[in-house]
Amino acid sequence: MRTIIAALCSILAAVTLAANVARASDEKKAEEKPAAADKADKADKKEAADAKEAPAADEKSGPEKMVLDKTGKMAPVTFPHRKHQEKAACKDCHEGEKPLFEQKRNEKGYLMKEMYAGGTCGKCHDGKKAFKAQGGCMKCHKKEK
């Protein structure tokens, strides 16, 4: 009888020990988790900070949109300037011996025949680099909603 009780006791002790070890390792994992989560959080914050810097630099780079309506012959054109800054470099439009566009509002407006000949907007809106100036008139001649 005694040996049976002793045996039961040692089994119980072994089970308790095993349970404790398991709990301890769970606790250790729980401690590690926040550290990893913290790291991920810091990475997120850095990304957010980087993303914040970009628009700040853009704000000095000309307006987001410009309404081009100097000729008054067609519906005005809302030119998405900021969007173009993402697709092309400033120098593509504003630099060189004969810049495509002055870096200021022009007085005369632009002519379609120049565009069709590959000038101004037509430099890119040629049906290859971007949609063609010669069709889809309303893609450009529209007021922004």
Distance CA 56, CA 37 (A): 29
Given 81, 126, 143, 145, the residue binding ligand HEC (CB under 6 A): 81
Strands 77-79, 66-68: pairing is antiparallel
Buried b (16+ CB within 10 A) or exposed e, 12-51: eeeeeeeeeeeeeeeeeeeeeeeeeeeeeeeeeeeeeeee
Our finding on whether 73 is near ligand HEC (CB under 6 A) is: yes
Candidate segments 18-26, 33-41, 48-56, 57-65, binder of ligand HEC by CB under 6 A: 57-65
| Rounded least distance, CB 47 to ligand HEC, Å | 22
Binding site for ligand HEC (CB under 6 A): 61-63, 66, 68-71, 73-74, 77, 79-81, 83-85, 87-88, 90, 92-94, 100-101, 103-106, 109-113, 120-121, 123-125, 129-131, 133-137, 139-141
